[in-house]
Chain A
Amino acid sequence: MNPRKRFFPLFCLLGFWPILAALFICCSSPAGDGAAKPSAISGRKTLCWILIDFDTFFCSPCLAPLLEFCQALPGPIQEERLRGILVYSRRSDGNEDSRYARVVQTKMQGFIKANDIRFPIVLDEHHLFNGLLNSNTQALLFDDQRQVVRKFSFPFQPGEKSDILNLLLSNDGG
């Protein structure tokens, strides 16, 4: 097997944790005087990125835990605290991969409308997060209280869902 192919997922994994951590630190810093216009994710607020496995669109039982989690959050909290990244498998042919990206994008629109998803979801068109997914939808929680990034897999273990919801619902900036 091509060593590049073998180690590419590891590069992604190792490369992106520092990026995510840096992003968290930037987002957690209070905006100072004369700072740029605050974005939707500025301020001391616990954030949750959801890496959604595209294959779960076609498996109702697989999708259920994610949808239950989303529906447990009021719409404004979803809009403010959740961000989705739709991850799908790369196609071997470059042209086919471009076409397939449009397929995934179209299906994503249907999924968002049909399930009343309120938070923005972007397509992982360059397959940056494939290595993190491990065939399960994942939640990356930027825990502002503990200043750490935590990763959870769907379906959650007992207690995890309520922990995450409590953090997202109770944290109100500072």
Chain B
Amino acid sequence: MKEDIEMKIGKMASISLGVAMALLFPLSIRAGEKPLKVKIQEVLSIGALDEETLFQWTGVASDIEGFIYVLDGLDYSLKKFDAKGRLVKKAGGKGQGPGEFMAPRLLGCSENFLYATDQGILGISVFGKDLRFQKRIPFSLPISDLFVFSDERIAVAVIGFQDPGRIVVLDAEGKVQSELVYQKKMAGPLMDSVSATLDGQGDLYLAYVFQDKVERWDKSGTLVWSKDLLGVKKVKTEKLSGYTLPTETCLKDICLDHRGHIFVLGGSRAKNPSRDVYVLSPAGGLVTTLTLPDTTHCIYIDHQDFLYVRANDGITLKKYRLIYE
């Protein structure tokens, strides 16, 4: 009898252990995406209150030599700073002529060139690293984001007002090389607007500005995964000039570090609006959230994994080292 009881206890223990392992096993798989903390350490600050270095910077890019290029929307300029934040050169000016700006917005950088978009001028202006205007790449649609592959290839996310959202890959002359339509059916005017980036394998990552959605697409145009981050079902909208337009933002920008982590900047619906940065694994799992000290309209990570963000309402550009723990 004693042996029967011992056998029963042993059996129960085995069953309990099995159940426990069955419950814990999936968690241990998720935990295989190692818990990660990301901290930031300021290494450079360009522009300050009461100075006249930057007034309302909009776009930023940096090259392998460490130069930092900045578009300034308030004085219609393109500025070049060295690695210590000293102004090297300024170009541009107000206007619609070659090398001029009306509302400069996005900036990209290849080995030899800089690419700038303007909300008041269609197309993409190309400058040399010496800030000399080279040409304008023709493109007849408004652009919500820009990604530069090389001197010969760039990708733009098109703002959808009447057509579903798409990414268009162009050559240096503006000829369309390929297109990815990422929304089969349009969700509404502007609702398909995205911020986009690509990894080294050519996979595309999208963060929707007016929808709570982050997506990864492979280079064959197949959706790999889609995630929501904020728990937002629908943003507020308003009727303007006959259109129903969104008045809140979900996710404002997206970029990658060289470890494959995806950084997504939260918009007005984030817990800390325009300060929360969600760090995802390549599989789309949320590994941590980083809250910036000041609001920013964009995030940019350079080739050395330094993070660039805004401060002082666009008067300051901050450069941070990313510290992984």
Chain A residues with CB under 8 Å of chain B are 57-58, 60, 99-100, 102-103, 105-107, 109-111, 113-115
Q: Chain B interface secondary structure, helix, strand, loop or mixed?
A: loop
Contact present for B73 and A106 (CB under 8 Å): no
Instruction: State which of A57, A103, A115 has its C-beta within 8 Å of the C-beta of B312.
Output: A103
Contact present for A99 and B52 (CB under 8 Å): no
Contact present for A114 and B102 (CB under 8 Å): no
Shortest Cβ distance from B94 into A: residue: A114
Chain B residues with CB under 8 Å of chain A are 49-52, 55-56, 72-77, 94, 102-103, 119-120, 312-315
Chosen A-B contacts, 30 in total, with CB atoms closer than 8 Å, are A57-B56, A57-B74, A58-B56, A58-B73, A60-B119, A99-B49, A102-B49, A102-B50, A103-B49, A103-B312, A106-B49, A106-B50, A106-B51, A106-B52, A106-B55, A107-B55, A107-B74, A107-B314, A107-B315, A109-B52, A109-B55, A110-B52, A110-B55, A110-B75, A111-B74, A113-B52, A113-B75, A114-B76, A114-B94, A115-B94
With most chain A CB atoms within 10 A of its CB, the pick from B77, B102, B120, B313 is B313
CA distance A60 to B100 in the complex (A): 14
CA distance A58 to B104 in the complex (A): 11
Query: Which residues of A lie under 8 Å from residue B120 when comparing CB positions?
Result: 60
Tell me the smallest distance from the CB of B101 to a CB of chain A, in Å.
10
Contact present for A114 and B75 (CB under 8 Å): yes
Tell me the smallest distance from the CB of A85 to a CB of chain B, in Å.
19
- Would A103 and B315 be within 8 Å (CB), given that A60-B103, A115-B94 are in contact? yes
Tell me the smallest distance from the CB of A114 to a CB of chain B, in Å.
4
Shortest Cβ distance from A100 into B: residue: B313
Query: Which residues of A lie under 8 Å from residue B315 when comparing CB positions?
Result: 103, 106-107
Contact present for B56 and A107 (CB under 8 Å): yes
Query: Which residues of B lie under 8 Å from residue A100 when comparing CB positions?
Result: 313
Query: Which residues of B lie under 8 Å from residue A113 when comparing CB positions?
Result: 52, 75
CA distance A115 to B119 in the complex (A): 18
Query: Which residues of A lie under 8 Å from residue B56 when comparing CB positions?
Result: 57-58, 107, 110
CA distance A82 to B312 in the complex (A): 30
Contact present for A110 and B74 (CB under 8 Å): yes
